[in-house]
Amino acid sequence: MLIASQFRPQSTFRSFPALLLSLCALALLFTATQAASAQAAPASDQLLIYSIDVEGGQATLLVSPSGASLLVDSGWPGNNGRDAARIQAAMKDAGIKRIDHLLTTHYHRDHVGGLPQLISKTPVGEFLDHGLNREDSSVTRQDFAAYLKAIQGKRRRIIHPGDSISIPGIATIVLAADGKHIATVPGIQPVPNAWCAAEHPWPDDPTENARSVGILVTFGKFRFLDLGDLTGAKELALSCPNNPIGTVDLYLVTHHGMNLSNSRAIVDAIHPRVAIMNNGTHKAGSPEAWQTVHDSTGLEDLWQLHTAEGSDDAHNSPEPLIANPKGTAADGAYFKVVASSSGAFSVTNTRTGQTKEYTRK
């Protein structure tokens, strides 16, 4: 402990040269502090979240007020680098040239496949993942091998439930990884989850989906949840009998809105204000999951990256809430979320250019 009297000067003026030196040192210290704070100071009170259209995969870019960035997944391979280009377009919009943290939720192709193309053009500070692939399928073994090859010699960190991802200006905690999950979130009192009792059992899932990394991002009063492709049995393990997550403002609909995920017990417990579904035209966006999210208590809007063309109109949101609706030329339109630490946020549909505000609650 520092004791103030230890720093009390012995005499006010020892000598003029000493005083001059002290003043110079103080001036240098002040300048250095100013420079450091100018670098670290938030550019604004804004957290940016981009839900990038990778046609039914995931690529979600977060840029904190300090300018530090986290990319969650890299979309698909192939397509002449389409997904890398779309991620770079979002980076350009955010005014960043590098990704500080690239988190791969799991080793399925729609999440990790685009990584080699992306990192051939984009500097990355560190790669985060849940560790070994344990899915017994040749395609996933191939994709895991391609991932390891792409990041060879680069900085990699295996993350576990309870770990933090260090991003100045926001708090990011790992809720689930490699099939395990956190029991409590710091600062949140777990509460009994009333929706568990009515929940049907969900089958165990031996695939990589169940090992997805799930994160909770907190920026002041604003909270964002992204559970990757976590499937039903693991959702229930995480949220029953007690919900450790609390409620969220923005929910990236798990598993692109597939009905292997999005159990009522977790969706109702987290009580999202707004949900974004990163479905493709014929990928996920299933009627059951859409209905569960749509009907969840307190939901104000369900945005979709695409019309789910396998569903009917009753299981798709109105066109203004869809980035790439059926029958339009739009492709690659995305959602940009701008959140304030007050809890207020907005969602912009880049196809229409229209922004919807969600005032602080």
* Contact residues for Zn ion, defined by CB under 5 A: 110, 229
Instruction: Reply yes or no: is the peptide bond before residue 241 cis, omega within 30 of 0.
Output: yes
Question: Which CB sits closer to Zn ion, 57 or 67?
Answer: 57
**Cα-to-chain-centroid distance, residue 332:** 19
E strand segments, 272-353: 274-277, 301-306, 322-324, 335-339, 345-349
Of 280 and 332, the one with the shorter C-beta distance to Zn ion is 280
CB of 211 to Zn ion, least distance (A): 12
Which is closer to Zn ion, CB of 55 or CB of 268?
55
Q: How far apart are CA 101 and CA 78, in angstroms?
A: 23
Q: Least CB distance from residue 144 to Zn ion, whole Å?
A: 15
Please count the CA atoms within 13 angstroms of the CA of 55 that sit on its side-chain side.
14
Token reading at 68 = 């530090």
CB of 226 to Zn ion, least distance (A): 12
Tokens of 300: 């104000």
Contact 65, 169 (CB under 8 A): yes
Q: List Cβ neighbours of 361 (8 Å cut-off, separation of 6 or more).
A: 273, 343
Looking only at the bridges linking them, the beta strands covering 242-243 and 60-63 are unpaired
**Least distance (Å) between residue 297 CB and Zn ion:** 26
Residue closer to Zn ion by CB (options 219, 335) is 335
Polymer length in residues for the chain: 361
Minimal distance, residue 333 CB to Zn ion, in Å: 20
Provide the minimum distance between the beta carbon of 277 and Zn ion in the complex, in angstroms, as a whole number. Answer: 12
